Amino acid sequence: MDRKSTPIFIKNVLGFSLATLISKILGFARDAMIVFIFGGGKLSDAYYAAFRITNLLRRTVGEGALNASIVPILAKEKAESHEKAVNFFSAILIFSVGISIVLCALAIIFRYELVKLISYGFLKDTAQYELTVFLTAILMPHIIFVTLAAVFQSALNVSKKFFAPALAPAIFSIIIIGYLTALNLGFLSALELEKKLLLLAAIASLSGLIQCIALFPLLKKELYFIKWINPFKNPKIIPAIAMMAPAVLSIAQDQIAMFINTIFASFMESGSVTAIYNSARIIHFPLALFAVSAAQVALPDFSKNLLLHEKKEFKKTFNFSVKLTVMILAPATAGILALALPIVRTLFEHGQFSHQQSQLTAEVLFFFSIGLLGYGINKIVSAAYYAAGDIKFILKITAFQMILNTALCFLFAKNMGAGGLTLATSITSLLAAALFLKALNKKFSGMGIIEKNTLIFLGKIIPASLFMGIFAKYLNSFMLLSTGHIPATLITIVSSILIYFTLLRFFNVQERNSILKAIKKNK
């Protein structure tokens, strides 16, 4: 990556990260309000189990596989002519929405079977099982709108527009927060709590439509419009579908892992499903800020590099993406390991959410965070493979992860409870990252994929992160002696971030300077 492209890349990553940060903060507020009103027990377990089914389809078929299969092909089509880009955009949009409608219909028809599959343990409580089934049916139309929004986002990403598309999902949280705020102020006070939960699901389902409407003007500005044509008449639609099908399986791995965890958790103590969901939300916060952001921004660049046979530029973009990701995820891992319980108490221990539920969630979060670096590296490597149109190896790794994750869940569940489930997921993710990097390194025979300066970088980041984690642990314990847990947690987090970036300056980490320059330049 040359000096000219580096600031642009950082600017795009920061823009995507800022939008993601806003979206995630709103998401935390949304989930905190859900457990504040509905508690961390059977009602929230039913909602999150149903939402997990929708989320699996949304993140794989909607936001995941579509982006991975559309961006490389659309980038090539746009390089030839805008007309070809519009034709492919229209074809893939019509095809994707049609498939999502069919999936939605099938999911509603087979909703009982779906809930049995993901939450078999709920069968012991007929009322909770029926509620989860009803919630699943209500939430399912959301995938249609999200699929539409995902195609819009892919087209905008190819045009190097990242901030607004990444911010659009925040609409989902804003609408739900508005509804929950109204409930807290006494709106619909005569309504039973269960019916309020059903209405929440309906509002969540329809919020995706507003997300699509928000993105449409941006598409129009980039001169994209919909041609109502037979998608199969476009010569690029079959290659896109061929890439999309295996991409669904590979991208679904994280969600499938959560799917497996939810199945096991449905047999455990009440609140286990909610604990896994809330801990996943915390883990995905730093993950989405830089790993997902870097992968999303790098995908069009990877595609362009391969299209122009610029192998060295591909390697530089990959290493820079990895360094940006590790620079955030390494300290995030250390911080979460040190502050799992304080973070959970600060975010969720309000209203109906008890201290016992905080302890359960913190245990789950602790083991989840062990695999954070693995999750992040997997995102970057996957983007590189998708750009190359080579996903056979990704499918092998995905199958390996699924089998190993299930086996480890059986092994750990009995003695470790819900925490054992997320430990299983962490171990499989770290092993997958190691296998991915080894395989990608072979593809760059003679030069390797990992640059020497990346290894030097790791030698600075890891000790800085470890020191920060130790500092955070002791500072929080000290602060608790003189103040409440919320101020203590906030002061500890801010102080730890300052210490970490001070250490990066001491170690002369150039990526820190590049980010600060990009921030100052774009103020």
Reduce the DSSP state of residue 157 to 3 states and report it.
helix
Percent of the chain with pLDDT over 70: 83
Written as one letter, the residue type at 270 is S
Q: What is the pTM of this model?
A: 0.67
pLDDT at 445 exceeding the cut of 80:
no
The predicted structure's pLDDT at residue 463: 92
- Choice among 128-132, 272-276, 382-386, 501-505 with the minimum mean pLDDT: 382-386
How does residue 192 score in pLDDT terms, banded at 50, 70 and 90? confident
Average pLDDT over residues 444-459: 76
Residue range 128-137, pLDDT digits in tens: 888 888 998 9
The rounded distance, in Å, linking the Cα atoms of 158 and 238 is 20
pLDDT at 470 over 90: yes
Distance, in Å, from the CA atom of 211 to the CA atom of 365, rounded to the nearest integer, reads 30
Of 16-20, 205-209, 430-434, 460-464, which gets the smallest average pLDDT?
16-20
State pLDDT tens for residues 9-59. 666 667 777 777 788 788 878 888 888 888 777 788 888 888 877 776 666
- The mean-pLDDT minimum among 22-31, 459-468, 483-492 falls in 22-31
Identify the DSSP state of 171: H
pLDDT at 448 over 80: no
Task: Give the pLDDT confidence score for residue 68 in this predicted structure.
Answer: 67
pLDDT at 523 over 50: no
pLDDT band at 155 (very low <50, low <70, confident <90, very high): confident
Asked if residue 87 has pLDDT above 80, the reply is: yes
Q: What share of the chain is helix, strand, coil (3-state, %, to 5)?
A: 85, 0, 15
Give the SS3 label for residue 67.
helix
Lowest-pLDDT range of 207-211, 222-226, 238-242, 343-347: 238-242
Question: Residue 471's pLDDT is what?
Answer: 93
Quote the strand ranges of 374-458, DSSP E.
none
Asked if 319 and 51 count as a contact pair (C-beta separation under 8 A), the reply is no
